[in-house]
Structure 1
Amino acid sequence: MKVLASLLGAIMLFTFGASSVFADMSELRHATSKVVGTPYKWGGTTTEGFDCSGFILYIFKQFDVKLPRVSKAQAKVGTAVEKDQLREGDLVFFNTDGKGISHAGIYVGNGEFAHSSSSKGVTISKLTDTYYAKRYVTARRVVTGQDYTNMVNDEH
């Protein structure tokens, strides 16, 4: 009987909850979720494959935000943001090769960022994951005002 009740509950949650899950998702989170799983491709800027900065360009182009092509240059635009002040849409940067900024992602809230990982493709990771926490360098806010409002609203 418990199994049946659990199954029924799961069916109801799936049936009635699925649309509300997407309704509560921001435009940015929705845009990134559509490409999660896309493979990593060095130099890639399309859904055929992304590198980290190409992924950022692809997502931000949907919101008419122009950015430089490579992560080192992306880390110089906008304004610096402290880690404890991050908000959805901020760019986060990492030193993964020991030579300065070499990886980037988009902060999507709740301590998570979307990025194109060379081992996993487009994925969501936590800033507190040991690998990324040790390599975190900086964050930049590149979207403000009405552009920011459009990016984080939940009307899609």
Structure 2
Amino acid sequence: MRKLSAVLFAFALLLVFQVGSAFADSKLDTTVEPLIGIDYDYGGTTTDGFDCSGFTAYVFKKLGVTLPHSSKSQYGLGTKVAKDNLRAGDLVFFNTSGSGVSHVGIYVGDNKFAHAASKGVRISDLDETYYAKRYVGARRILDSDTYKEVAVEEAK
């Protein structure tokens, strides 16, 4: 019942905040969307429960990209990208522990990112006070060809 409530709540948030535009028809969107509402599980890497880096590694593996299971390790990958130059599929990083990178999510567009937080997999806004204060930076993992293949909306 708790999972159903979480899924319904997440769906309601998607409608309220109009994240629908972030969830269109790309492979990234169709990989992330069904994971919304899955419970948080420290060390979790499956749909039984995710931690933040387990979630990002799971999504990227579905897209054909292997990531390590550590937010700090993921922060060392790819290339730095400015916050005002983010595109869908970029990893966004936060200092939630007070000692460097400790949280990661996937930018999905419209200033929003998908991540496994303490209340489960959800969509949050980069400007939410909690995350805005803790934002560390972003890394671009997907090269241009992979980005076009997995993160650009497919024509209907």
Instruction: Compute the TM-score of the two structures, normalised by the length of structure 1.
Output: 0.82
User: How much has 1:73 moved relative to structure 2?
Assistant: 0.5
User: How much has 1:26 moved relative to structure 2?
Assistant: 2.1
The number of residues matched between the two structures is 136
User: How much has 1:22 moved relative to structure 2?
Assistant: 10
- What is residue 54 of structure 1 aligned with on the other side? 54
User: How much has 1:67 moved relative to structure 2?
Assistant: 1.2
Aligned partners of 2:132 and 2:89: how far apart in 1?
A: 19
- What is residue 78 of structure 2 aligned with on the other side? 78
Identity across the alignment (%): 53
- What is residue 139 of structure 1 aligned with on the other side? 138
User: How much has 1:153 moved relative to structure 2?
Assistant: 3.3
Task: Specify the code of the residue in structure 2 equivalent to 1:127.
Answer: L
SS in 1 for 2:37: coil
Aligned partners of 2:35 and 2:23: how far apart in 1?
A: 18
SS in 1 for 2:131: helix
User: How much has 1:25 moved relative to structure 2?
Assistant: 3.0
User: How much has 1:145 moved relative to structure 2?
Assistant: 2.3
Q: Which runs of 5+ in 2 are unaligned?
A: 1-19
Instruction: Compute the TM-score of the two structures, normalised by the length of structure 2.
Output: 0.82
- What is residue 148 of structure 1 aligned with on the other side? 147
Structure with greater Cα Rg: 1
CA contact (8 A) 1:22 1:30 kept: no
Aligned partners of 2:117 and 2:53: how far apart in 1?
A: 11
CA contact (8 A) 1:116 1:123 kept: yes
CA contact (8 A) 2:23 2:108 kept: no
- What is residue 94 of structure 2 aligned with on the other side? 94
CA contact (8 A) 1:23 1:154 kept: no
The 1:34–1:90 alpha-carbon spacing in structure 2 relative to 1, beyond 3 Å, is same
